[in-house]
């Protein structure tokens, strides 16, 4: 189990206030890492920090908007002051925007450019580009680090209605591979995790009816998932710890781990 020991690691997790990012933060802390959770929702961020600290871990919350470079630079300084040089960066910020979701109430040609730009800002610019610009170089200079970007099955196949989100997440996968090549000889590994369908606040109405049964869309997803169930956020912990742990994944870079119950195996 020494392969997965993160007691010498400092993890920055952007978007750790969400369900999936927060669960990964707990998993990384359980493996011994000191964790800095960055996000915009102070209440949820502090609640996750309290959960980690109450369990014997070490975590802090730092308010930061991932789409604002100055906010990330300030957060970078705060992380260094609290824990020293970070060794792991998890980019978990992102989400679909209903203003760019094509469907009954919105045609593709009616998507406003400002809404498209906002979606790209959240999922690509703030989702990976700016955080890697701000937090990546110090890891490269230190010749040690692991960057974990959270992608989506929509980045592999453009799911119906979410073309803008799919385009942004496809770019996340591409930029992950680019950075893996760029920093490979500088000791920084860059990989992605593609979650399948995990019920959370933002997609619960999509996956379930008011009575708690799978919606028509939710049932369609289950029909395409060989395991015939949705994922639980805790099931992302193992992949995150594996990619964060240098001894366990020292020769792994530029790849994408799908944690999707087999969803993509039936659609690609």
What pLDDT is stored for residue 267 in this prediction?
Answer: 66
Contact criterion met (CB below 8 Å) for 39 and 93: yes
Specify the pLDDT at position 105: 86
pLDDT at 214: 86
Position 215 scores a pLDDT of: 84
Domain ranges across the chain: 2-266
Tens of pLDDT, residues 96-153: 888 999 987 899 999 999 999 999 999 999 999 999 999 999 999 999 999 999 999 9
Q: Low-confidence residues of the chain, pLDDT below 50?
A: none
- In this prediction, residue 115 carries a pLDDT of 95
Active site residues: 165
pLDDT in tens, 48-65: 999 999 999 999 999 999
Alpha carbon of residue 154 to chain centroid: 14
CATH topology of domain 2-266: Rossmann fold (3.40.50)
- Determine contact, residues 27/3, Cβ cutoff 8 Å: no
Which phi and psi angles does 18 have, rounded to 5°?
-85, 175
């Amino acid at each position: 189990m020494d392969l997965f020991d993160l007691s010498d690691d400092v993890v920055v997790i952007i978007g750790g206030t969400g369900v999936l990012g927060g669960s990964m933060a707990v998993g990384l802390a359980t493996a011994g890492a000191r964790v800095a959770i960055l996000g915009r929702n102070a209440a949820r961020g502090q609640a996750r920090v309290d959960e980690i600290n109450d369990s014997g871990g070490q975590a802090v919350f730092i308010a930061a908007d991932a789409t604002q470079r100055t906010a990330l630079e300030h957060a970078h300084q705060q992380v260094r002051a609290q824990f020293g040089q970070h060794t792991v960066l998890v980019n978990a910020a992102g989400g679909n925007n209903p203003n760019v979701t094509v469907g009954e109430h919105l045609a593709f040609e009616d998507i406003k450019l400002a809404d498209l730009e906002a979606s790209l800002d959240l999922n690509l610019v703030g989702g990976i580009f700016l955080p890697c610009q701000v937090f990546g170089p110090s890891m490269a200079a230190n010749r040690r680090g692991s960057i974990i970007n959270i992608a989506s099955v929509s980045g592999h196949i453009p799911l119906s209605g979410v073309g803008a989100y799919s385009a942004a997440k496809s770019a996340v996968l591409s930029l992950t591979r680019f950075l893996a090549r760029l920093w490979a000889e500088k000791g920084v590994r860059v990989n992605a995790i593609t979650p399948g369908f995990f019920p959370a606040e933002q997609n619960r109405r999509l996956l379930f009816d008011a009575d708690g049964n799978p919606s028509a869309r939710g049932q369609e997803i289950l029909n395409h998932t060989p395991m015939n169930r949705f994922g639980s956020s805790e099931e992302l912990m193992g992949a995150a710890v594996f990619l964060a742990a240098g001894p366990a994944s020292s020769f792994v870079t530029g790849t994408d781990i799908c944690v999707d119950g087999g969803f993509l195996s039936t659609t690609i």
